[in-house]
A and B are shown apart, each in its own frame.
Chain A
Amino acid sequence: MLRRSLLLLSSLLLVPGLGCAKRASDAESAAPSMDYGGDGMAAAGSAGPSEPSPMPSREAYDFDDSKLAEARDVPTSVQAAPATTPRPSGGKPEIATDNKPIMPEVSKGDEVSDTERKKQFARQIIYTAELQLSVYKLDDAMQRAEALTLAAGGYVQNMSQGYYVLRIPAPALRGIMDELAHLGVVEARTLQARDVSEEFVDLTTRIRVLRETQQQLLALLRSARTVEEALKVRASLDGVTMELEQAMGRLRLLESLIGFSTLTVRMSLRGPQNAVPSSNDPFPWVDGLGVEATEWN
């Protein structure tokens, strides 16, 4: 009895230290034998001990794992961005919610190729772009912009007259920007890239460590003999679960931003206020003439 209590207490003391791996290198050194799996969230979800991990019974601990199961299927990187499947306007990327087991029965560490391992640590970049166009027919241009976005597998996040915030699958961003440029005259174009590789790896590692801790606590909970023991373990388990959820939420957000670039499009009707470039012309009077200046309303 005394031995068991000591074991329980020592485990509880270890718990706070487990979820704090801030650096990938730290995490790797802490658990060198672990495998990350193929990519991001799937890796986070599927990472587990190399030995089969027993599933906790629902009766023993009523733990809501549905969110974890959802997250396992979310694409994690640019490489894993969704294919060019049209989505309904205004919709969000659908996350698979099939009832897969919470934890893998067997680690797939041996099956993971080097390529997949490299993918895991590939550059994770969030692209944000802006495009300002002056168009001849605003309504037509807006409809075309929306159609192009849907055809590329993206969706409209925000829309008002002459203003769009589009979410475009990252690999298709440049192509869509080029297509949109054909809707009128490009007045301004910007593209920003934010490298979040470090944060991404940190989160992935943190999630893996937290999941291991969670599993250990579940095992402890199962072996608890008294109510007091069970309550103490449960309190720790709740803390770990909350931290895990926060990390997974942040990872999901990162994945969404990485997989779907944000493109802000501003369109205005083309008129005489839009300059026509004339190089070093001493008589630029013709710049103010033409169809645009005459037909503009």
Chain B
Amino acid sequence: MTITTMHRTALLGLAFLVLPACAAYKIQPPVGFAVVSENDWQTRMKAQDNVGLTLQRFENVKGGTLGFWGADLVKKLGNRNYTLVSQSPIKTKNGKTGTRFDFDYETYDTELPKFYTAVLVVTDRHKIVLQVAGDQQFAAAYRARIPELLAELKVRGCKAGSKICNGAQPPKLSTPLVKKSKADPADPANAPDTATTPPPVAAKP
């Protein structure tokens, strides 16, 4: 009887010890970011220059692989006028693989240029998305910091011998071509008037 009670207590204690470790992800605020809000399914952080970093957890379903959800993410963001500019594999602090998607974006109607990076990691239980977004002027600085941010991220939820975790990378994805900005100088329609354009300088031999 006493042994049974001890066992029960031990099991309960073990469960309490294991529970925190079952969180889908764990991240320490990277340098320059402070946590705005945090709960079981989402962590929101902000930098001084209004760049946001969020980590979000979604339930996974049977058949939900990194390839499937990566394509879903890119397609739906593409429909919202996001432009995929690069895609690359990543690895978290605890060795889980995922895919990083870098997007350019202009806010709907107001055409404010923004950058947006989503890192997708898929486990048996969850889809984990790390997002970084802000004004386009900060894109280069923060995109360069993504490996540093990932070095703070631990992802859990993989079963032993899982085919989902560390699964195959999605194929090269793309978003539909979005309408170019009116002020885009690369657009021939927006090319400056030839009368005001300085004549080309002759190439030196």
Write the residues of chain A forming the contact surface with B, with a CB cutoff of 8 angstroms. Answer: 135-137, 181-185, 270, 276, 278, 281, 283, 285-297
Contact = CB atoms under 8 A, between A and B. Distances in A.
Contact of A278 (B46, B51, B76): B76
Contact of B134 (A135, A290, A295): A295
Interface of B: 36, 46, 50-54, 56, 58, 72-73, 76-77, 80, 82, 105, 107-110, 112, 114, 116, 118, 127, 129, 131-134
A181 to B, nearest CB: 7
Contact of A294 (B54, B76, B110, B127): B54
Contacts of A136: 107, 110, 112
A287 B54 CA distance: 15
A285 B58 CA distance: 7
Given A182-B109, A285-B58, A286-B73, 19 more contacts: A181-B109, A182-B110, A183-B109, A184-B108, A270-B107, A276-B80, A289-B56, A289-B129, A290-B131, A291-B114, A291-B133, A292-B107, A294-B52, A294-B116, A294-B131, A295-B52, A295-B114, A295-B133, A297-B52
Contact of B132 (A181, A294, A297): A294
5 contacts: A136-B112, A270-B107, A285-B127, A293-B131, A297-B52
A276 B82 CA distance: 13
Nearest to B61: A283
Contacts of A292: 107
Nearest to A141: B110
Given A136-B107, A289-B77, A291-B133, A297 B46 contact: yes
Contact of B36 (A181, A184, A276, A297): A297
B29 to A, nearest CB: 15
B27 to A, nearest CB: 14
B167 to A, nearest CB: 18
8 smallest CB-CB distances across A and B, nearest first, come from: A294-B133, A286-B76, A294-B52, A294-B131, A295-B52, A291-B133, A285-B58, A291-B114
A135 B110 contact: yes
Nearest to A285: B58
A289 B134 contact: no
A229 to B, nearest CB: 73
Contacts of B46: 297
B103 to A, nearest CB: 9
Contacts of B36: 297
Contacts of B110: 135-137, 182-184
